[in-house]
Amino acid sequence: MNSAKLELTVGIFMLIGILCLGYLSIKLGKMELLGGNYYRVVARFDSVSGLKQGARVEVAGVEVGAVERITLEKESGDRAELILKIKDGVNLTDDVIASVRTSGIIGDKFIKLKPGGSDQMLKEGSKIRETESAIDIEELVSKFIHGNVD
Amino acid sequence: MGHFLLHTLYALVRQPGRPVHVLKQIRFIGAKSLFVIVLTAGFTGMVLGLQGYYTLAKFGSDGLLGAVVSLSLIRELGPVLSALMVTGRAGSAITAEIGIMRISEQIDAMETMALDPFKYLVSPKFIAAMISLPLLCAIFDVVGIYGGWLVGVKLLGVNPGSYFTEMYRSVEWKDVWSGMVKSFSFGIIIAWVGCYKGYYAGHGAEGVSKATTESVVLASVLVLVWDYFLTSILL
């Protein structure tokens, strides 16, 4: 067997395979080669029921980042603490309102950001003060049926 | 069988075969399987597109087709089907090759000349299978995704934007990674079973034919069983 031809065949096969692997891991797997150009902000919610890690963060319907981590707040232990990663270059005012919304009726939960009018911008690690929790449809319906029992 | 695997791994670490042997095996296990992998991947993706479309269209969410096709391919079908195809194509050939060397006493001759058959026969096949399987699986995934795209978008009229956007949104790094881990371990299984069955083939042509059959059946079953356990660990 001609060894140059052998090496060529194997080389082409490896090249195609690695190209496909690269497509899968970088484009689909969203592997961040350079650590990504994001800054992180913290937001605390009464309830983020249904929200998943990696859910998108939107401003005016445009995707500007993702939910990086969901934990319980350490001090009180009864609120949810989210870490949102926001693309560099997206400027958010410090009076931005974060709310948990649903796309469609049964769609995925996402975070909607509504910028305010302040001239102070959020920086790495700063905290979003104004938040609105997820709307619990069952709770709403039960309020409607049973009156204000709570 | 466990002893055989340990012996091979020991040989792999201590004295890996010459690169040219590994290259020849990659050409045989990987490059020559390319055509059959592309063919099966294309049709798997197309049938997923077809089935997924009619199921999802009942709920009016045919936009999710891209997510369905890509997730089922990347997590399960890609690694498993490519491993089964390689078992049928290369696993059987490995067993037959080593089995014939065994019954024609070539392996005994090698041992007599102080050539380690693990170094020259077995370990190049192991390395080649471990390299080739993840690459074949990646090719399977990509071709399958475009097969699903062909049927879903071009034939049945799913919005092309939503096909790819839903796909990018729902597939995560973990899915790709677990698929690659799976197909890497399937590579080990195929080479292990293939070499073991050939190495201990019985007497005569009948022994080799029995070993080849057993090797294909055992490797396919092991791939499916191991897939279940690996999925439950990785999930």
Please give chain B's pLDDT, 235 residues, in tens.
777 878 777 777 776 667 888 888 888 888 888 999 999 999 999 999 999 999 988 887 878 888 889 999 999 999 999 999 999 999 999 999 999 998 888 888 888 888 888 888 888 888 899 999 999 999 999 999 999 999 999 998 888 888 888 888 788 888 888 999 999 999 999 999 999 998 888 888 888 999 999 999 999 999 999 999 999 988 7
* Chain A residues touching residue B171 (CB < 8 angstroms): 28-29
Residue A137 at interface with chain B, using a CB cutoff of 8 Å: no
Task: Decide: A100 and A51 in contact? Cβ < 8 Å.
Answer: yes
Predicted local distance difference test score (pLDDT) of residue B172: 81
How many Cβ atoms sit within 10 Å of the Cβ of residue B92?
A: 19
Mean pLDDT, chain A, as a whole number? 81
User: Could you say which of B20, B70, B168 has the minimum Cβ distance to residue A3?
Assistant: B20
Sheet holding A130-132, edge to edge: A127-128, A38-45, A80-87, A62-72, A56-59, A109-114, A97-102, A130-132
Task: Decide: A83 and A111 in contact? Cβ < 8 Å.
Answer: no
Q: Which amino acid is at A51?
A: L
Q: Output the 3-class SS for chain A.
A: CCHHHHHHHHHHHHHHHHHHHHHHHHHHCCCCCCCCCEEEEEEEECCCCCCCCCCEEEECCEEEEEEEEEEECCCCCCCEEEEEEEECCCCCECCCEEEEEECCCCCCEEEEEECCCCCCECCCCCEECEEECCCCHHHHHHHHHHCCCC
Residue A52 at interface with chain B, using a CB cutoff of 8 Å: no
* Domain chopping of chain A, boundaries: 1-31, 38-134
Predicted local distance difference test score (pLDDT) of residue B139: 94
Predicted local distance difference test score (pLDDT) of residue A30: 67
Q: Please report how many Cα atoms fall inside a 13 Å half-sphere around the Cα of residue B150, on the Cβ side.
A: 13
- CB spacing of B176 vs A56 below 8 angstroms: no
Q: What percent of chain A has pLDDT over 90?
A: 0
Res A1 pLDDT > 70 = no
- DSSP states of B117-132 as a string? HIIIIIHHHHHHHHHH
> What would the pLDDT profile of B45-68 be if each residue is shown by its tens digit?
999 999 999 998 888 787 888 888
Predicted local distance difference test score (pLDDT) of residue B39: 94
> What would the pLDDT profile of A18-53 be if each residue is shown by its tens digit?
998 888 887 776 666 555 678 888 888 888 887 888
Task: Decide: A92 and A60 in contact? Cβ < 8 Å.
Answer: no
Predicted local distance difference test score (pLDDT) of residue B171: 84
Q: For chain B, where are the alpha helices, taking DSSP H only? A: 2-14, 19-29, 34-58, 65-72, 78-86, 92-103, 106-112, 117, 123-149, 160-170, 173-199, 204-234
- CB spacing of B173 vs A1 below 8 angstroms: no
Distance CA B76, CA B65 (A): 16
Residue A125 at interface with chain B, using a CB cutoff of 8 Å: no
Predicted local distance difference test score (pLDDT) of residue B148: 92
Predicted local distance difference test score (pLDDT) of residue B23: 86
Which tokens is A53 given? 């890690």
pTM of the model: 0.78
Q: How far is CA A42 from the centre of its chain?
A: 12
Rounded mean pLDDT, A65-84: 85
- CB spacing of A21 vs B180 below 8 angstroms: yes
A133 vs B125, higher pLDDT: B125
Q: Is B30 helix (H, G, I), strand (E, B) or coil?
A: coil
Predicted local distance difference test score (pLDDT) of residue A33: 57
Res A56 pLDDT > 60 = yes
Task: Decide: B219 and B190 in contact? Cβ < 8 Å.
Answer: yes
Parallel, antiparallel or unpaired: strands A62-72 and A56-59: antiparallel
